Amino acid sequence: MSLETYGWLVLAFPLAGTVLIALSWRLGPSKLQGYVGTLAVALSFLSALGALFELQDRGEEQRQVVTVGWDYAHTVGVDAQLSLLLDPLSIFMALVVSGVSALIHLYSVSYMASDRGYTRFFAYLNYFVFSMLLLVLAGNFFFLIVGWAFVGAASYLLISFWYRRTTATAAGIKAFVINVVGDVGLVLGTYFIFKHTGSLDFVKAFGAADELGRNEGDLVAGCLLLLVGAFAKSAQVPLHTWLPDAMEGPTPVSALIHAATMVTAGVYLIARMHPFFEQAPAAADVGAILGCTTLLIAATIGLVVTDLKRVIAYSTMSQIGYMVMGVSSAAYAAGLFHLMTHAFFKALLFMAAGSVIAAMAGEQNLDRMGGFRRAMPFTFGCMAIGGLALAGVPPFAGFFSKDEILANVIAREDWHVVLGVLGYVGSLLTAIYTWRMIFRAFFGDPVEPARELEHGHLYHAPEHTNPATGEVEDTDVGFPGPEHHIAEREWSMKVAMALLAVGAIFAGVVQIPRVTDVLHNFLEPSFRDSRYYEELEPSGGLTWIGLAVGAVLALGGIALAYRLWMQEPARPAAIRQRLAGVHAFLVRKWYFDELIDTLVVRPFAMFGRFARDVFERVFVDGLLVGGPAGAVRAGSAAVRAVQSGFLRYYAALLLVGVTGLGLYFLLAAS
Amino acid sequence: MNVEWYLIVSALVFSIGAGGILVRRNPLVILLCLELMLNAGNLALVAFARAHGNEDGQIFALIVMVVAACEVAVGLGLIVAIYRRRLPIDVDELRELQG
């Protein structure tokens, strides 16, 4: 089969999956639907592999293929075509997305098994995979925006999956509103680019990018707007407040959307739009600085939060900060390499966290967890592997990818060196908060659920409650199901986690500095028009120093976490007492929620109240609607007075009228 | 044989009928006056027929008589119905069809 066919199949399978699952709702929740969903995404992954092989069969010069499915419109110079761009970058993203998604689908087959909304879950999940693949395979801005919007909708649907929980629906709304802000930025940015390049098609627009002036005002504005879109989707400061709240969704959703795939859409956008960003370095610099800021802010918050999933969420925000910093500093291969390895170990961490939360019967608070190491050895092993990869311990995957980004950023010289150094600080913090989480959850004295599990009995809470607010819930539609599933007991969860663990351990070999260059060479045709791709290479000395420093910081961070949370359990509390102000500031997430509330939410709410009370009631209802209505009513009242009901009055009118007419004609004729 | 005299008589009878409609309150009397007006019209028609020498006016007068008969039948039926319902037989009192 040809490359184009494979490309369309990659999209067709998840779409077919979602339609089939949705139409089969009458069968009631059944594992068959889960397997159909998993199969659909697995087939999509195989098609992406097929496309990969076809692409590599072609010569070096022909690796950017545009395939057009349908011509929607040719108007006003806009060509709206259903076209896919199949080149190394999009196939790479498609492989990562479909591969990790397939494993997460497999995990969810057992994890969500007792949920009444099982069918809905898999329909939404397949829909999400379809939208994400559409986003990465799109060949013009039009379909990029369509995929972007669909992904936002899927995220909303999945975050508010347990829709009877008010915390979940509020989180879904928050995520969607911030996403819409990003959508507006993306569309406006597209407009700017279209205005200057005259085409919505990627290949044509990139070709015209060279003619634009360097750092020209319009181009910088367009790129900044694209950055707004990227930041909203990838949860970077200042549009990041939705991501921690998004942990209200089921754990597989957090693993898929908010770790491995959707949040990486922003990184993909910046990498794809690199011709424009390289022509507008001001915007790229803004991106790099904000990426660095995010990674530090998120790392500091991750040190103090107590909800297991939120620690991992802040870690995601931080790692995406690395990726954004990387691709904004023109380290494209490094940033995308980290995207791949991060997808593996972050999804693994979320899956393991899901297993622990299931063992705790839905409780997510780290304060109530401890000592699960003996009760859940497999989960512990996966979490440890994920934690080592995230912290950046050699030879795990995260070590190579993170250090490559930082080495490339420092190799940019000038002020980028500061960003690189801050990135190393961030990696120390990463190691600390990751292993804080692992030591607290798995080491120490076993809590009651852990003890029960060691005796082979899965803990059931006396009543089902919302983990955030403690409200009591039932287990019917719209709430989590009554049963919880841990990895040790479900083969599908074990298989998915094991495969990801293998990826997290070995994926680093793809791009060992100075030894293998697989990804860099593979992605080269997509970045041929970049002026930094080949030139930006850290020197040998810089690379080795960077690797050494990275390894030392990672191991040092783990050691520090060990010291604080294992050997001297009273120290963290004492430090918290002494730095109470700092702790409060961090726990309140740097007051970003309050800031956005004051700057944005309150003015809009006030405007809404003004619109309802003053404008709608007085002006529209009173004047514009009431005015003509009142006039008509008065007029008809006047006319109604003629109908008095008096027979003689009517007769008189008739006679007077006839007489008048007769007189008139008589006089006129004479 | 001047046609004017007949027309003057017709006009006089017509105005007497019109005045009767405007002044009287009993529906039966109003019907009577209505008949007066119709017959005044008939008189004028026949006079003109005599004046022009053809029978068009006479034929139309016959048609008017048919219409008068139908309308009187309906009117008298209404008055009998009103009487049977014990409503006042006074055109000023019967004015609920208003608004």
Q: Which residues contact A262 (CB under 8 A, 6 or more apart)?
A: A128, A132, A151, A154, A155, A233, A256
Distance from CA of B91 to the nearest CA of A (A): 6
Q: Which residues contact A355 (CB under 8 A, 6 or more apart)?
A: A376, A379, A486, A487, A488, A493, A497
Q: Which residues contact A108 (CB under 8 A, 6 or more apart)?
A: A34, A121, A122, A125, A250, A252
- Tell me whether residue A635 is exposed, middle or buried, using C-beta atoms within 10 angstroms of its C-beta: 0 to 12, 13 to 18, 19 or more: exposed
Nearest to B22 among A640, A644, A648 (CB): A648
Using alpha carbons, select from A217, A319, A209 the residue that is nearest to residue A273. Answer: A209
A419: left (phi over 0), alpha (psi -120 to 50) or beta: alpha
Supply the CATH number for residue B23's domain.
Answer: 1.10.287.3510
Judge whether residue A578 has pLDDT over 90. no
Judge whether residue A63 has pLDDT over 70. no
Give me A33's structure tokens.
């639907």
**How far is residue A437 CA from its own chain's centroid?**
23
Asked if B98 lies within 8 A of A655 by C-beta distance, the reply is: no
Backbone angles phi, psi at A71, to 5 degrees: -95, 110
Has residue B99 been placed in a domain?
A: no
Report for A398-407, A461-470, A626-635, B30-39: range of highest mean pLDDT: B30-39
pLDDT tens for B10-51 read 999 999 999 999 999 999 999 999 999 999 999 999 999 999
Give me A381's structure tokens.
């092993």
Using alpha carbons, select from A512, A502, A254, A557 the residue that is nearest to residue A391. Answer: A557
Asked if A648 lies within 8 A of B91 by C-beta distance, the reply is: yes
From chain B, pick out residues whose CB is under 8 angstroms from the CB of A655. Answer: 18, 21-22
Q: In angstroms, rounded to a whole number, what is the distance separating the alpha carbons of residues A366 and A440? A: 7
Q: What is the pLDDT of residue A413?
A: 80
Interface contact A654, partner B, CB < 8 A: no
At A36, is the secondary structure helix, strand, or coil? Answer: helix
Judge whether residue A342 has pLDDT over 70. yes
Whole-angstrom CA distances from A424 to A238, A322, A361, A407, A597 are 22, 10, 37, 10, 32
Q: For residue A518, how many C-alpha atoms fall within 13 Å in the half-sphere facing its CB? A: 11
Cβ–Cβ under 8 Å, residues A379 and A291: no
Higher pLDDT, A44 or A625: A44
Q: What is the pLDDT of residue A579?
A: 86
Q: What is the pLDDT of residue B15?
A: 95
At B47, is the secondary structure helix, strand, or coil? Answer: helix
Q: What is the mean pLDDT of residues A660-669?
A: 94
Residue A443 CB neighbours (<10 A): 17
Q: Which residue of A has its CA nearest to B18?
A: A655
Nearest to A645 among B25, B30, B96 (CB): B96
Q: What is the mean pLDDT of residues A81-95?
A: 89
Cβ–Cβ under 8 Å, residues A307 and A364: yes
Judge whether residue A421 has pLDDT over 80. yes
* Domain range enclosing B66: 3-84
Judge whether residue A382 has pLDDT over 90. yes
**How far is residue A480 CA from its own chain's centroid?**
22
Using alpha carbons, select from A503, A514, A552, A516 the residue that is nearest to residue A397. Answer: A503
Domain count across chain B: 1
pLDDT tens for A275-286 read 899 888 899 999
Cβ–Cβ under 8 Å, residues B89 and B78: no
From chain A, pick out residues whose CB is under 8 angstroms from the CB of B79. Answer: none
Higher pLDDT, A67 or A193: A193
Using alpha carbons, select from A325, A320, A305 the residue that is nearest to residue A365. Answer: A305
Distance from CA of A171 to the nearest CA of B (A): 59
Q: What is the pLDDT of residue B2?
A: 85
Nearest to B97 among A640, A645, A648 (CB): A645
Judge whether residue A564 has pLDDT over 90. no
pLDDT confidence tier of residue B99, bands split at 50, 70 and 90: low
Q: What is the pLDDT of residue A237?
A: 87
- DSSP symbol at A70: E
pLDDT, mean over chain B: 93
Q: What is the pLDDT of residue A227?
A: 94
- Residue found by looking up tokens 């057992």 in the block: A110
Intra-chain end-to-end CA distance of chain B, in Å = 52
Asked if B96 lies within 8 A of A652 by C-beta distance, the reply is: no
Backbone angles phi, psi at A68, to 5 degrees: -105, 125
Reduced 3-state DSSP string for A396-420: CHHHHHHHHHHHHHHHCCCCHHHHH
pLDDT tens for A579-599 read 888 888 888 888 888 888 888
| Four-CA torsion A360, A363, A365, A369, nearest 10 degrees | -10
pLDDT, mean over chain A: 88
Segment among A271-280, A450-459, A461-470 with least mean pLDDT = A461-470
Cβ–Cβ under 8 Å, residues A11 and A130: yes
> pTM value?
0.82
From chain B, pick out residues whose CB is under 8 angstroms from the CB of A645. Answer: 95-98
pLDDT confidence tier of residue A129, bands split at 50, 70 and 90: very high
pLDDT confidence tier of residue A475, bands split at 50, 70 and 90: confident
Nearest to A644 among B21, B22, B95 (CB): B95
Distance from CA of B51 to the nearest CA of A (A): 21
pLDDT tens for A207-233 read 888 777 777 788 889 999 999 999 999
Cβ–Cβ under 8 Å, residues A301 and A586: yes
Segment among A202-216, A247-261, B56-70 with least mean pLDDT = A202-216
Q: In angstroms, rounded to a whole number, what is the distance separating the alpha carbons of residues A297 and B14? A: 104
Rounded CA Rg of chain B = 17
Reduced 3-state DSSP string for A362-385: CCCEHHHCCCCCCCCHHHHHHHHH
Using alpha carbons, select from B68, A413, A451 the residue that is nearest to residue B60. Answer: B68
Q: What is the pLDDT of residue A347?
A: 94
From chain A, pick out residues whose CB is under 8 angstroms from the CB of B99. Answer: 640, 643
**How far is residue A403 CA from its own chain's centroid?**
24
Using alpha carbons, select from A331, A313, A547 the residue that is nearest to residue A424. Answer: A547
From chain B, pick out residues whose CB is under 8 angstroms from the CB of A640. Answer: 99
Domain ranges in chain A are: 3-587, 593-631+642-669
Residue B91 CB neighbours (<10 A): 18
At A241, is the secondary structure helix, strand, or coil? Answer: coil
Give the angle subtended at the CA of A127 by the CAs of A125 and A129, to the nearest 5°: 70
Q: What is the pLDDT of residue B31?
A: 95
DSSP percent split of chain B into helix, strand, coil, nearest 5: 75, 0, 25
What length does chain B have?
99
Q: What is the pLDDT of residue A322?
A: 94
Q: What is the mean pLDDT of residues A145-165?
A: 93
A vs B, Cβ pairs < 8 A, gives 28
Q: In angstroms, rounded to a whole number, what is the distance separating the alpha carbons of residues A378 and A633? A: 79
Chain B residues in contact with chain A using a Cβ-Cβ cutoff of 8 Å: 18, 21-22, 25, 30, 91-92, 94-99
Q: In angstroms, rounded to a whole number, what is the distance separating the alpha carbons of residues A289 and A291? A: 5
The ipTM is 0.89
Residue among B15, B21, B23, B89 with most chain A CBs within 10 A, to mutate: B21
Percentage of residues in chain A with pLDDT exceeding 90? 46
Using alpha carbons, select from A283, A274, A238, A271 the residue that is nearest to residue A595. Answer: A238
Q: In angstroms, rounded to a whole number, what is the distance separating the alpha carbons of residues A585 and A28? A: 47
Judge whether residue A61 has pLDDT over 80. no
Nearest to A643 among B25, B30, B98 (CB): B98
Q: What is the pLDDT of residue A62?
A: 66
From chain B, pick out residues whose CB is under 8 angstroms from the CB of A652. Answer: 22
Residue A596 CB neighbours (<10 A): 16
- String of DSSP letters for A75-128: ETTEEEEEEEEESHHHHHHHHHHHHHHHHHHHHHHHHTTT-TTHHHHHHHHHHH
Residue among A642, A647, A666 with most chain B CBs within 10 A, to mutate: A647
From chain B, pick out residues whose CB is under 8 angstroms from the CB of A644. Answer: 95, 98
Distance from CA of A646 to the nearest CA of B (A): 6
Asked if B96 lies within 8 A of A643 by C-beta distance, the reply is: no
pLDDT confidence tier of residue A77, bands split at 50, 70 and 90: low
Q: Which residues contact A67 (CB under 8 A, 6 or more apart)?
A: A3, A4, A7, A8, A83, A84, A86, A139
Give the angle subtended at the CA of A292 by the CAs of A287 and A297, to the nearest 5°: 125
Whole-angstrom CA distances from A167 to A163, A436, A470 are 9, 27, 11
Q: Kindly provide the b/e burial profile for residues B59-87, where b requires at least 16 CB atoms within 10 angstroms of the residue's own CB.
A: ebbeeeeeebeeeeeebeeebeeeeeeee
